[in-house]
Structure 1
Amino acid sequence: MAQEIEKKFLVIGNDFKKEAFESSKIIQGYLSSVPERTVRIRIRDQSGFITIKGIGNQSGASRFEWEKEMPLNEAEALIKLCEPGVIDKTRYKVKTNGGTFEVDEFHGENNGLVVAEIELANENDAFDRPNWIGKELTGDKKYYNAMLMKSPFSKW
């Protein structure tokens, strides 16, 4: 069991793509989207995952996270049981001094939204902010994937 500590930001432009060392296609749904315990089913490329997340701390940067890989066919079956709405995105990984940003370019009803997250060992760890990093979104619940499923970016 682990504590996830991350900061989230809006992304400006597409410069991050030329710096990316990896990308993957992600489809995910939620068996439970209540803030106290989200249960996510994710298909990343050809692998399945189940993730349980707890409610965030006061700043929104830290929360409990547990994840296990599962067979693709099981993830595909569980996606069909999820709450209405699906998150469809491409994730890019970009290394910087101080860590690796995961940049999510959303598709479907969240098309046009691009956010970056960086996982940290401590909430106060220093890291470089590339020029494509914009406003900080840490703790802003409307940018949580479980909320984007219910209230997509295109409807804001």
Structure 2
Amino acid sequence: MAILSEEDRKLIISLLNEYSEKLLNICEQIDRQQRNFDFLWLLLAFAWTMVFYWLFSTKIITILTILTITIVSQSFVIYIYFGIQQPRLELLQRKASIISAKLEKVIRAASQAQEHTTMAGGFFSDLEVDLRLSDAEYALQHYKNLAKKRKFFGYF
């Protein structure tokens, strides 16, 4: 069985740490963006409900009033989503997919190296690589779960 040098072990550990941390940070940003947009929709729905309640209770409802409120609020949502939110989410998702592909390759290489070689530092070096591998696998699984997670408003 071949022995993996200390430099190689440190390189594997640093790559696993770097890519898993990047992926987890991007996943947090994606999740935060999606939650913020869901909150915006709920806030807007609440505002619509209050406005329509006020209109019906004061009996000054007209088609023009309803159309104006609907057009203004829909324009606001469309601008927020397509002008600001969607490009950010697409960029973050693109970055996350690139980093996840790199992380998968590093995990695969580290697993193969661990199976077919022994670490220069002994048991604790093997344990450290095992721990870093499990952290990286968690980050990758978290990204995959986030990618297939149904959004609150799934059709957007």
Q: TM-score range by the shorter chain?
A: under 0.3
Higher relative contact order, structure no. (Cα contacts within 8 Å, ≥ 6 residues apart)? 2
Relative to its length, the structure with more strand (as a share) is 1
TM-score (norm 1): 0.18
